[in-house]
Chains A and B, each alone.
Chain A
Amino acid sequence: MIRTPLRPLARVLKARQTGENPDAIERENIRLRHEEMRDKARLRAQGRLLVLSVFFLGAFMTVGARMGHLAASEPMEPQARASGSQILAQRADIVDRNGRILATNLETHALYAQPPIMIDKEKAARELAVIFPDLDEKELLEDFTGKREFLWIKKKLSPEQKQAVHDIGDPGLLFGTREMRLYPNGSLAAHILGGASFGREGVHSAEVIGVAGVESRFDEFLRDPVNEGAPLELSIDMTVQAAAERVLSGGMKLLNAKGAASVLMDVHTGEIISMVSLPDFDPNIRPRPPTEGEPGDSPIFNRAVQGLYELGSTFKIFTSAQALELGLVNPETMIDTKGPMVVGRHRIRDFRNYGPELSVTNVIVKSSNIGTAHMALDIGAKRQQDFLRSLGFFEPTAVELTEGPGAQPLLPRQWKDISTMTISYGHGLSASPLHLAAAYSSLLNGGTKITPTLLKRVTPQNGPRIISEQTSKLSASMLRQVVTKGTASFGEVPGYHVGGKTGTADKPLTNGRGYYDDKVISTFASVFPAHDPKYVLIVALDEPTETSGPKPRRTAGWTAVPVASEMTRRMAPLLGLRPEIAPAAPAKVTLTSN
């Protein structure tokens, strides 16, 4: 073995001495070093190439294994997720308190066209125009021959129409299944139900979304598959609702009113048994919101909930009830009714002069503005506001309609003494008939707060107490006397002990300054039976005129009261109330012994 000296120069020096060429040795050294480097690099490269081989082999095996795993798994059906999520079609029914259908679904078809696969476009356009008179042949043909590859033609088809389109026989005319919302009772309870329309549309189904009323308010609930199709139960009674609509619309026509509203409420549960707003509409073909004219006169406007009116003398009972509750008066206390009452620049008058003073009961029975104003002054603005707030007149009703939260009562900007006085008899504060119904219920059910609801419930609400039971009873008895000997004498319905308060309020001019003298809102807020209040009925007529006498009469006693009494006569039996005929004088029985 050749030993290489540790010092490289040693060999070179030795070679020089022996006369050899040292360059050869130098080259030899370099060659050896190079070879050593190469060997080292080669060994390292071998190791790393092995690593690479293992990496690639592993990678290919992983791909193969994954492929095999995929191949062994079940294929899944590709689902159309183009619009983000699946369109849910099934929408729950809406039923009345007895389970009768108010809204349900009907399977139908939508018609669409795919022009690229149509065969005879002229014929298709011509025949479609015959089947659907509202379609224009020219426009259809333009659509078919244009660039569009897909277009909707009709959203709902009747079976006959579908067959007719089918008979055209063009493969480019196609049907998409649809579930449409159907209101089998037509315009019944139209404002409560609202209406529905198609949301996102796909070829195989379309979303049905509520646009107004409970359909919109409970949209999520109705569409939620978790409920498994459980219907939405309303507090409405379909038969009562039908009777109310019929009588009210008859009364409205008879009295030449341009609108009418009524609310029937259970005083203990706060359930709205019937709620009518006229004129109404058919929710199956819900009209578009009007673009011109007064929105309050549109058929889709819910007067009972959205309509804010000065409800007039119906408010007097709140003033008297508060005065009784505060112990300021008792029913027999005499109140100054000398008129006219002058407050600053304002004069308060009564409908006619009732003499210098009246008892509290008679202030209500005769409907004296002056007497009520005096009581209100005794109560004071602060306490009056608190009481009206507790009855719900300061905020929108909590009724379950999309339209509900928008109906914020109109309050005076500054609550001066004159406001206190006018509001005590129902002027200067505008609220909806539903507000009034809830307040009367709270007042007459024994004195606990009622929140109006459209959902069926069985237990009384038992809200916070507003007035004592005693005051509640006294108020009911005063209302009864209004019917038996006061302004609402037409309101008597034999056997049902109706009590109530009339209200006739001049309509404010549209410019907001002053009032019309020939246009009124006439209201009758009634309760029956008065000795044990069960139901409150509010009837409001917009601009009624009674023309049977020599002069046109507009007061509620001649307009709203007869309509309300006819409604009570028709509805009370449907509600399961039996007429109570006053017992005959006890027969004189002589006990004898034989």
Chain B
Amino acid sequence: MTEMVYGSLPSRDGEPILPKWWRTIDRWTLSAILGLFCIGLMLGFAASPPLAAKNGFEPFHYVIRQTVFGGMALVVLLLTSMMSPAVVRRLAVLGFIVAFAALAFLPVFGTDFGKGAVRWYSLGFASIQPSEFLKPGFVVMAAWMLAASQEINGPPGKTLSFALTIIIVFLLAMQPDFGQACLILFAWGVMYFVAGAPMVLLLGMAGMVLFAGTIAYSNSEHFARRIDGFLSPDVDPTTQLGYATNAIREGGFFGVGVGEGQVKWSLPDAHTDFIIAVAAEEYGMILVGIIIALYATVVVRSLMRLMKERDPFIRLAGTGLVCVFGIQAMINMGVAVRLLPAKGMTLPFVSYGGSSLIAGGIAVGMLLAFTRKRPQGEIGDILLRRGR
């Protein structure tokens, strides 16, 4: 009666945002990401003081920076994960255009920080690496194109996205940054694979990669040395790889103890590329096992969720994002244990690095947005099929 007299209570249509977010988010993945971030901070305490001492900062300079960037990354991650896929796509495409322009103008405005490759924009207080931000944008853009091509009378998305990939790979190779170029190529390949690439084409591409590798091996001394170093049975203990291997051995299963590790003093990249060696030395196999389990959780759970997804765009974009995330972790750890030839690759969320942290936050935020539970039309399916 009351309702009839006074009108209905003001009510929102739909659920409030936060409860809905909490109900639909992949909480396992979210927890795993938070866990990785915490481990990264903890390792930063161990791995970065030598670098800080070398550069003349107070010991925990890099830990503080990592915390600040990590906080920003987490905020970005949470905000992104609350968006709907359509909004994500819109922003990601805009972001992609900006990042692409930034990448294209790197040779003009970028700096190389004396490392021989022009990859950064220097902003004074921090530096930005556009290729890090380009990756998630690119994945969404390519996924959109590939998904659109599956529509009847849709655009030729496969060709377009491939052309885009080639352009970006070319730009990255010019810097040179072969690692990121390979990641971009891998992301597109994996999405194309899931979008239904013909098997013959996939085999042909594998052959091409082998062929290109052989050409590179015989023509590039730098490349050949790395491969030789990888293939030779005993590792020279004075190389980075040798130190890393030795650190893992020293650590054993339970580690040498917090702060007792030595490898961080001898490895210049202990806080980035070889952080897993620091983890293995100080905390032993236990922590390494946890880290691997966390990455595996993120990747496998996300893929499982994406298997149920019916929207081709969301499926492809999610696949691209999670595979890039997973392959980075895998390559980084694979190099440290000499399963793969040496290649500089950061460990997402664990390695130190502002750009990569925030870009990682964006990417995982998108991933979480894509893997949220949403109605998949199963009911309609059942009803329609029944009806027929």
A and B interact physically: yes
Hey, which bits of chain A sit against chain B, CB under 8 A?
1-2, 30, 33-34, 37-38, 41-42, 44-46, 48-50, 52-53, 56-57, 59-64, 66-68, 70-82
B194 touches A45 (CB 8 A): yes
B303 touches A66 (CB 8 A): no
Report if B196 contacts A (CB, 8 A): yes
- Measured as residues with beta carbon below 8 angstroms from the partner, the interface class of chain B is 35 or more
Q: Which of A49, A50, A70 touches B249 (beta carbons < 8 Å)?
A: A70
Q: Which of A48, A57, A63, A68 touches B193 (beta carbons < 8 Å)?
A: A48
Which of A42, A60, A62, A68 is the most central at the interface, judged by chain B CB atoms within 10 Å of its CB?
A60
23 contacts between A and B (CB under 8 A): A33-B152, A34-B151, A45-B194, A45-B307, A50-B307, A52-B319, A53-B303, A56-B323, A59-B334, A60-B296, A60-B329, A60-B330, A62-B339, A63-B334, A64-B288, A67-B285, A67-B292, A70-B337, A71-B248, A71-B251, A71-B252, A72-B252, A81-B237
A63 touches B299 (CB 8 A): no
Least Cβ–Cβ distance between A75 and chain B, in angstroms: 4
A403 to B312, CA, bound (A): 85
A42 touches B285 (CB 8 A): no
A57 touches B300 (CB 8 A): yes
Hey, which bits of chain B sit against chain A, CB under 8 A?
150-152, 190, 193-196, 236-238, 242-243, 245-246, 248-253, 280, 284-285, 288-289, 292, 295-296, 299-300, 303-304, 306-307, 310, 312, 315, 319, 323, 326, 329-330, 333-334, 337-339, 388
Least Cβ–Cβ distance between A533 and chain B, in angstroms: 61
Residues of A contacting B304 in the complex (Cβ-Cβ under 8 angstroms): 53
Which 9 pairs across A and B sit closest by C-beta, in order of nearness? Answer: A75-B249, A78-B237, A60-B296, A53-B303, A66-B337, A70-B248, A71-B285, A56-B299, A64-B292
Least Cβ–Cβ distance between B268 and chain A, in angstroms: 16
B249 touches A52 (CB 8 A): no
A30 to B152, CA, bound (A): 8
A74 to B248, CA, bound (A): 10
Residues of B contacting A62 in the complex (Cβ-Cβ under 8 angstroms): 339
A404 to B252, CA, bound (A): 60
Residues of B contacting A33 in the complex (Cβ-Cβ under 8 angstroms): 152
A82 to B242, CA, bound (A): 14
B302's nearest neighbour on chain A, judged by CB, is A53
B194 touches A48 (CB 8 A): yes
B246 touches A75 (CB 8 A): yes
A78 to B242, CA, bound (A): 8
B252's nearest neighbour on chain A, judged by CB, is A71
A80 touches B238 (CB 8 A): yes
B337 touches A63 (CB 8 A): yes
Least Cβ–Cβ distance between A174 and chain B, in angstroms: 21
A45's nearest neighbour on chain B, judged by CB, is B194
Q: Which of A71, A75, A82 touches B238 (beta carbons < 8 Å)?
A: A82
A49 touches B194 (CB 8 A): yes
A50's nearest neighbour on chain B, judged by CB, is B307
B236's nearest neighbour on chain A, judged by CB, is A81
A68 to B293, CA, bound (A): 14
Residues of A contacting B307 in the complex (Cβ-Cβ under 8 angstroms): 45-46, 49-50
B303 touches A52 (CB 8 A): yes
A2 to B385, CA, bound (A): 11
Residues of B contacting A41 in the complex (Cβ-Cβ under 8 angstroms): 150, 195-196, 312
